[in-house]
Structure 1
Amino acid sequence: MKNSIYIGLLALTCIITSCTDVIDVEVPTAEPRLVIEASLDWEKGTSGLNQTIKLSSTTPYFETDLPNAVTGAQVSVTRESDNVVFVFEDQQNGTYTTNDFGAILNDVYTLNVIYEGETFTATETLRPTTSITKVTQTRDGGFDPDALEVNVYFDDPEDETNYYVLKYQEIGDYFPDLVTVSDEFLNGNEIHLIYEKRGDDDEDEFQAGDVVNINIYNVTKEYYNYIGILNNQSGSSGNPFTPAPVELLGNCINITNKENYPYGYFRVTQTDKKTYTFVEE
């Protein structure tokens, strides 16, 4: 008989304060680097034919309004079992799309990006994922006994090591929250995750009528670690005891010029998605 194991998760809204004095900061500059956002997700119950890869370049820290979409690249993904090549067409806005991607579980896929005479590549296996079995709402499982929270349940397969990323994105929010969980101490059990959204006031919490999309991904240990580091760096602002952020590199490499390495990650996974609407209690 499976045991039910739950983990409480809390999304915190960062408070940013500013001084009245103007301080000029000397910020080191560097040559722009290619940023590859290549998450190919085969949602259960769909064909998975339509996929998008985004390319951009890094910009100076204080010049975020500069255009940084990368166009003119050649982007393709090869399925290694039969050498079928899926070409992603340049949409002239930094996105590259295909409508005939062939998703096969446990097959190996290789990304190739040719840009400005250099070739960037990465390889991943399309991993199957477990399904979300149930989604509910409560108020008594998180950090705030009065706040609404969403509960996600899924069964972890026995006798295998799994790493999961769950993506929570409320409709209307620009960025999702990514949560990592390993089955190191949970193998073969039902896993119960509690996700609570909090901020400075009650309006930042979930309210009746809010809609949240939830995705579960079974990922590699490398991607699990990558997202964990990304979360630690993005959530460490204002804490003087956290280590300084380090350069976060993914699995993409430049085989033409290793010194001009890219940022970003190439991931190919199956995903299960649920949409939950909070109700009045």
Structure 2
Amino acid sequence: MKTYIKFLLLTAILSFLSCEEVIDVDVPTATSKLVIEASIDWEKGTSGNNQSIKLSTSSAYFDTETNTMVIGASVKVENTDTNEIFVFADNGDGTYSTSSFVPIIGNNYSLEVIYNNETYIATETLIAVPNIKNITQSTEGAFDDELLEVNVYFDDPIDEENYYLTRFYEENDLFATFNSLSDEFLNGNEIYVFFEKDKDEENNQASFQPGDTVEINLYGISERYYNYIRLLLEQYGSGGGPFSSSGAKIKGNCINQTNKDNEAFGYFRLTEVNKTSYMFQ
């Protein structure tokens, strides 16, 4: 009987292996869209004159050979409060840059991109950011009491709505980690944000150890950008699981004035950013 059972199992395994069949699946592709990466970030302590904007086109998910950089476009930003115009020169590699930008906190700016005879417009306000007042490390305030975490403290301005974006990155990590927050329940108080890393062999990521250095960026962002990036981060964080919902299309603020059916991806933002780093002890 045992020999008979072993024979049946072996037969079933061989039958399964011999029935492998390659199935070609047609993956739907969408029309290529313009992608506008226009982040005007004024780092505290600098003039903010040097800025760049990247233009590319979307491509199929599995397409790794198509050249997506956009050259030959017209890119300019106007301070609509002062009427000063900043032309971004084409560098021939998909990036457009200027060395004469003038950042003014609270002023409104308009982006104009002309590509393939279509004009894209976006408007935003340059938002200030508080100073980072203190950075500490601990193992008790986050999710795992055995992992090192970095804690960043800053004072939120009183009697006004404020929105923030944080970026944490350690050299050799595959991706930086972003988080968005508002002062809805913390207005006028000290705010602290923390960051810890779990070991992730798939992404070649290790938890923090003494001697590691983490880069820390704190951005002041508008409410509109906060709503945009919050949804984007939520979809990124919940994607890939067996029970995750299908991602909804998230629209940026770059509007096609020529053909509204041919929308662009991306966002035009202006922020003041506080950049620093911390070495774990």
- TM over 0.5: same fold? yes
Bigger mean CA deviation after superposition, 241-250 or 118-127: 241-250
Residues 1:199 and 1:23: Cα distance change in structure 2 (over 3 Å): farther
Aligned length: 260
By how many angstroms is 1:222 displaced? 1.7
Q: Which runs of 5+ in 1 are unaligned?
A: 1-19
RMSD: 1.8
Q: Aligned pair 1:38/2:38, yes or no? A: yes
Residue of structure 2 aligned with 1:232, choices 231, 234, 247? 234
TM-score, normalisation: structure 1: 0.87
By how many angstroms is 1:246 displaced? 1.2
Residues 1:218 and 1:168: Cα distance change in structure 2 (over 3 Å): same
Task: Return the letter of the residue paired with 1:227.
Answer: I
Q: How many Å separate the matches in 1 of 2:44 and 2:170? A: 20
Alignment of 1:239-258 (within 5 A): 239-258=241-260
Which structure shows the bigger proportion of residues in helix conformation?
A: 2
Bigger mean CA deviation after superposition, 178-187 or 204-213: 204-213
Aligned match of 2:136: 136
By how many angstroms is 1:207 displaced? 2.0
Check whether the contact 2:71–2:90 (CA below 8 A) recurs between aligned residues.
yes
Q: Aligned pair 1:121/2:121, yes or no? A: yes
By relative contact order (CA 8 Å, sep 6+), the higher-ranking structure is 1
Q: How many Å separate the matches in 1 of 2:181 and 2:86? A: 32
Check whether the contact 1:171–1:210 (CA below 8 A) recurs between aligned residues.
no
Q: How many Å separate the matches in 2 of 1:263 and 1:48? A: 25
Q: How many Å separate the matches in 2 of 1:178 and 1:64? A: 26
Give me the identity figure in percent: 51
Aligned match of 1:8: none
Aligned match of 2:161: 161
By how many angstroms is 1:203 displaced? 5.9
By how many angstroms is 1:139 displaced? 1.5
Task: Return the letter of the residue paired with 2:240.
Answer: G
Q: How many Å separate the matches in 2 of 1:172 and 1:245? A: 29
Bigger mean CA deviation after superposition, 101-110 or 213-222: 213-222
By how many angstroms is 1:172 displaced? 2.8
Aligned match of 2:17: none
TM-score, normalisation: structure 2: 0.87
Aligned match of 2:261: 259
Q: How many Å separate the matches in 1 of 2:69 and 2:191? A: 40
By how many angstroms is 1:136 displaced? 1.3
Task: Return the letter of the residue paired with 1:264.
Answer: G
Q: Which runs of 5+ in 2 are unaligned?
A: 1-19
Q: How many Å separate the matches in 2 of 1:173 and 1:254? A: 36
Alignment of 1:218-229 (within 5 A): 218-229=220-231
Aligned match of 1:10: none
Structure of larger gyration radius: 2
Aligned match of 2:274: 272
